[in-house]
Amino acid sequence: MTISPTSVSPVAQPWHAVYPDPKSTAPSISRAEVLNWFREGKRAGRDFVLVDLRRTDSEGGTIYGSLNLPAQTIFSSLPTLYTLLSGGDVKQVVWYCGSCGGRGTRAAAWFADYLEKKQDSSMQSLVLEGGIKGWVASGTDYTEWMDEYDATVWARK
């Protein structure tokens, strides 16, 4: 059997393959520390920023006050995001996805690279340990700090 070039399907590349690999490794932050920020009265969007990188897997809720910026759009949005955040008093940007094994880690590292390029040490780029799945699995102390939390969605995951 002869295989023609038109009968072979191309190998799909991951969404991030068109962007450079990050040079940095962003540190992680525990969910307990983020929860403590909420309990101490720190405000998401003002004192720190949470960025939810999920696109099509975002049902079930998001951590209170998070921005939803799908990972597939983040690289080209870094300059704008940086301009917006550096104009305020934001010290930490916490990135998360489902489990923070891919999108969260990559986006946090890209932002860390951008901060380094801007020589900005006033802001820190962090990865939420365990992502939203870890947050939800940690129980009601965590899920009460979610917008649009839907336990039935998480029971199916």
pLDDT single digits (tens) 80-108: 999 999 988 889 999 999 887 789 999 99
Considering the segment(s) 20-148 as one domain, its CATH architecture is 3-Layer(aba) Sandwich (3.40)
- CB burial of 98-131 (b: ≥16 within 10 Å; e: otherwise) equals bbbebbbbbbbbbbbbbbeeeeeeebbbbbbbbb
pTM for the complete prediction?
0.88
SS3 (DSSP) at 30: coil
Q: Tokens 């962003």 correspond to what residue?
A: 26
State the pLDDT at residue 17.
Answer: 84
